[in-house]
Amino acid sequence: MSKFNTVIWPKVILFGDSITQFSFQANGWGAEIADKLARKCDVVNRGLSGYNSRWAKILLPRLISSQNSADTDIAAVTVFFGANDCSLEDKNPQQHVPVQEYSENLREITRFLASAGVPADRVIFITPPPVHESAWEKECILKGCSLNRLNSVAGQYAQACVQAAAQCGTDVLDLWSLMQKDGQDYTLYLSDGLHLSQRGNQFVAQHLWRLLESRVAHLPFILPYWGDVDPKSPESSLLSTQ
């Protein structure tokens, strides 16, 4: 076997809660992004259902290595928390995080990413989407609890996320505002009042790609197109490239 260099696949890391974890399901926004980036980079799902930004900042150093590691080939990171943080403190104290702390947690996450070789211009914050209260209340009742999220409160966290992005120098996808822009029926984007429907996943994928595309446009197609492989001497084609 000839000696060759290991192929380095850049990464796009999706870091968030259940809305990120579920994004690799059929027709999910993460799956669509991964499809667009096939043969260019690995799209890594680090969605953690039920997690908030407080837990995320604690866990992040276990998910991304320190500077000068192989993780310095990270092309982009999405940070998508807030849907659990904005839980009402008196209804869901375990997941609730005060909005001021939420904002600081986002800034701390950005600082850690910078220390790990991922500068702010490769980071994209995503705000929590709106909450359809009557639909989510039905889900809460099925779980034996009362309504524990309000759309107005989710909006406060979305605004804090936008402000934190401006302070950190990251891009931001403001789902809460975009999904309600011009009075459109945002409930179509939600499956249960909180999580995304198929249409909501398409919405996120479309708008996220607009922000992500410029960060990955430089990435080459990894390994030769099959038609360019020399059938008589495949090693010369396959082992002479990255």
Q: Read off the pLDDT of each residue in 124-144 and give the average, rounded to a whole number.
A: 97
Q: What is the DSSP letter of 95?
A: T
Main-chain dihedrals φ then ψ at residue 137, nearest 5 degrees: -60, -40
Q: What is the DSSP letter of 11?
A: E
Q: How many angstroms separate the CA atoms of 52 and 84, rounded?
A: 5
Poorest-pLDDT segment among 3-12, 97-106, 150-159: 3-12
- Those residues whose C-beta lies under 8 Å from the C-beta of residue 133, and which sit 6 or more positions away, are 147, 149, 150, 151, 193
Q: Read off the pLDDT of each residue in 230-234 and give the average, rounded to a whole number.
A: 88
Q: Read off the pLDDT of each residue in 98-125 and give the average, rounded to a whole number.
A: 97
User: What's the mean per-residue pLDDT of the chain?
Assistant: 93
Poorest-pLDDT segment among 45-49, 62-66, 106-110: 62-66
pLDDT in tens, 178-229: 999 999 999 999 999 999 999 999 999 999 999 999 999 989 888 888 888 8
Confidence of residue 241 (pLDDT cuts 50, 70, 90): low
Residue 185 is predicted with a pLDDT of 97
Res 67 pLDDT > 50: no
Res 120 pLDDT > 80: yes
Confidence of residue 7 (pLDDT cuts 50, 70, 90): confident
Q: What is the CATH number of domain 11-239?
A: 3.40.50.1110
Cβ atoms within 10 Å, residue 136: 20
Task: Kindly list the domain boundaries of the chain, sorted by start residue.
Answer: 11-239
Q: Read off the pLDDT of each residue in 82-94 and give the average, rounded to a whole number.
A: 97
Res 87 pLDDT > 80: yes
**Most confidently modeled of 5-9, 24-28, 233-237?**
24-28
Q: How many angstroms separate the CA atoms of 184 and 187, rounded?
A: 9
Confidence of residue 68 (pLDDT cuts 50, 70, 90): very low
Burial, 162: exposed, middle or buried (Cβ in 10 Å; 0-12, 13-18, 19+)?
middle
Please tell me which residue in 73, 121, 192, 230 is annotated as part of the active site. Answer: 192
Query: Is residue 110 helix, strand or coil?
Result: helix
pLDDT in tens, 146-167: 999 999 999 999 999 999 999 9
Please tell me which residue in 23, 85, 174, 195 is annotated as part of the active site. Answer: 195
Please tell me which residue in 17, 18, 87, 171 is annotated as part of the active site. Answer: 18
Res 1 pLDDT > 50: no
**18 counts as catalytic:** yes
Q: Which amino acid is at 238?
A: L
Residue 3 is predicted with a pLDDT of 61
Residue 14 is predicted with a pLDDT of 98
**195 counts as catalytic:** yes
